[in-house]
């Protein structure tokens, strides 16, 4: 209340500098509809604005999938909806897009963004589910299968950047890493149930960690003495382990942290198991001459896709595949460094 009796208007939350420490204080970036200039400024610097995701290899994917008006298309991993938006618009009029995602926190926001495109209501079907169950969802909507299927296996930037999800060692947060926080157990619980041999195998198979056995022992010994609850708890143990070894740099610390967090995320979400289930069901979900594109970010993922497509070509399931993997252009990698590890493969089902 002012001296003359008028009530002061409430102040909006201040934006604390260009680089706020707290993710949830990034007021402008988290409201792109109100601050488009700020979002554009961050993107122009080669960074992904907080709370958003930059779709990767969009032109290449559209060229390979060649979506047409009237097609039935499937986006198995909606994420922020960047690829889905392009597919949905390309199949109009009369086309339908089935979008799936296991993340219950991001899916409603993405559906709202896609419905704001003003496409016909029936043109968008959204299902909260893991793409490991693709056949049930696709064949329920189209018994003949889909014309176009896309699977982008990368973790969304919204998930990586939000410390509350526990995916990153760069910020303190709960040691969770579940793509669906309403299902399964967090990493903090999983560590309590693993033997040293089991954890070493996870680190080796999921991240090619060269010190998998010794590092697994160090992690579980520390966890037994003082159970980890946060990403910082785990990061501190890994950092101490790397620094205790001779001739190790800070870059070695960061690379080891990335491998450990990646390996545990893959394990807690059974990502390889989900991919293998998806690849087994994929042929039954495609119409004759239907096209599929899969974007991977891990050598284990790419290897599984490559073998499934090559085996399918040999057995007459697919009539055409990309023999050599496609990578993002140098321009895209410079503009969006998170695209640098992406690999794209494609196949066409036999007629």
What is residue 32's predicted lDDT score, i.e. its pLDDT? Answer: 57
**Residue 276 sits in a domain of what CATH number?**
3.40.50.150
153 and 301 inside one domain = yes
Q: Which positions ≥6 away from 112 have C-beta within 8 Å?
A: none
Domain count of the fold of the chain: 3
The whole-chain average pLDDT of the chain stands at: 88
74 and 146 inside one domain = yes
pLDDT digits (tens, 9 = 90+) for 246-298: 888 899 999 999 999 999 999 999 999 999 999 999 999 999 999 999 999 99
**Strand, helix or coil for residue 140:** helix
Identify the domain containing residue 290 by its residue range. Answer: 58-157+272-349
What is residue 121's predicted lDDT score, i.e. its pLDDT? Answer: 94
What is residue 12's predicted lDDT score, i.e. its pLDDT? Answer: 45
Element (H, E) at 164: none
Find the Cα–Cα–Cα–Cα dihedral 258, 227, 193, 231, rounded to 10°: -20
- Any bridge partners for residue 148, and if so which? 73, 291
Is position 172 within any domain? no
150 and 278 inside one domain = yes
Stretch 31-38: mean pLDDT:
59
242 against 45, higher pLDDT: 242
Q: Is the pLDDT confidence value at 46 over 50?
A: no
210 and 247 inside one domain = yes
């Amino acid at each position: 209340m002012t001296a003359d009796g008028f009530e002061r208007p409430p102040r909006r939350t201040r934006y604390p500098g260009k680089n706020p420490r707290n993710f949830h204080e990034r007021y402008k970036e988290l409201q792109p509809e109100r601050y488009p200039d700020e979002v554009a400024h961050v993107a122009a610097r080669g960074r992904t604005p907080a709370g958003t995701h930059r779709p990767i290899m969009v032109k290449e994917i559209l060229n390979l999938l060649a979506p047409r008006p009237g097609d039935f298309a499937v986006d198995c991993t909606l994420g922020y909806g960047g690829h889905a938006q392009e597919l949905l618009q390309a199949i109009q009029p009369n086309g339908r897009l089935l979008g799936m995602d296991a993340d219950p926190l991001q899916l409603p926001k993405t559906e709202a963004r896609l419905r704001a495109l003003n496409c016909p209501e029936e043109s968008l079907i959204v299902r909260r589910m893991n793409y490991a169950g693709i056949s049930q969802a696709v064949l329920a909507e189209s018994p003949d299968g889909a014309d176009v299927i896309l699977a982008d296996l990368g973790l969304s930037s919204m998930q990586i950047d939000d410390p509350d999800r526990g995916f990153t060692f760069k910020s303190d947060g709960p040691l969770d890493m579940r793509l669906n926080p309403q299902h399964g157990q967090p990493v903090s619980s999983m560590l309590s149930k693993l033997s040293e041999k089991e954890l070493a195998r996870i680190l080796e198979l999921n991240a090619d960690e060269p010190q998998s056995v010794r590092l697994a022992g160090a992690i579980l010994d520390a966890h037994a003495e003082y159970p980890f609850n946060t990403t910082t708890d785990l990061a501190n143990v890994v950092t101490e382990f790397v620094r205790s070894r001779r001739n190790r740099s800070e870059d070695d610390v960061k690379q080891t942290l990335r491998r450990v967090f990646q390996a545990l995320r893959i394990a807690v979400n059974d990502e390889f198991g989900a991919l293998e289930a998806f690849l087994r069901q994929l042929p039954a979900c495609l119409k004759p001459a239907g096209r599929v594109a899969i974007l991977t970010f891990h050598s284990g993922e790419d290897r599984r896709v490559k073998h499934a497509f090559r085996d399918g070509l040999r057995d007459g399931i697919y009539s055409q595949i990309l023999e050599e993997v496609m990578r993002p252009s140098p321009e895209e990698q410079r503009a969006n460094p998170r695209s640098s590890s992406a690999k794209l493969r494609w196949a066409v089902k036999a007629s």
